[in-house]
Amino acid sequence: MPKYYEDKEEDGRACGGVREDLRQCLLESPCVLQENKSPKQCLREGHCRSLQMTFFACKRSMVSLCSVFSSARGL
């Protein structure tokens, strides 16, 4: 589940909220806490898969949106 905090520092990057949720999910996963693996390695092993897919979809939508604007300029 996404976590949104009122006192959380603002992330101005695209998909910042999902990025933060994915980061927290990985850092709190048993893979990192109990097995002492890196978050990157745990991500490769499939931990926090739903947030990873959500983050990918968000970033992909940003790329799609940019291509719409760049193609509109050529008209």
Full residue range of the structural domain in which residue 28 is found: 16-63
Digit-coded pLDDT (tens) for 16-47: 889 999 999 999 999 999 999 999 999 999 99
Number of domains in the chain: 1
24 lies in a domain? yes
Q: How sure is the predictor about 13, in pLDDT bands with cuts at 50, 70 and 90?
A: confident
Supply the pLDDT for residue 23: 95
1 found inside a domain: no
For the whole model, what pTM was predicted?
A: 0.70
Length of the chain: 75
Domain assignment present for 11: no
In-domain check, residue 29: yes
In a domain, 33, yes or no: yes
Which sign, positive or negative, has the C-alpha torsion 1, 5, 55, 22?
A: negative
Domain-embedded: residue 55: yes
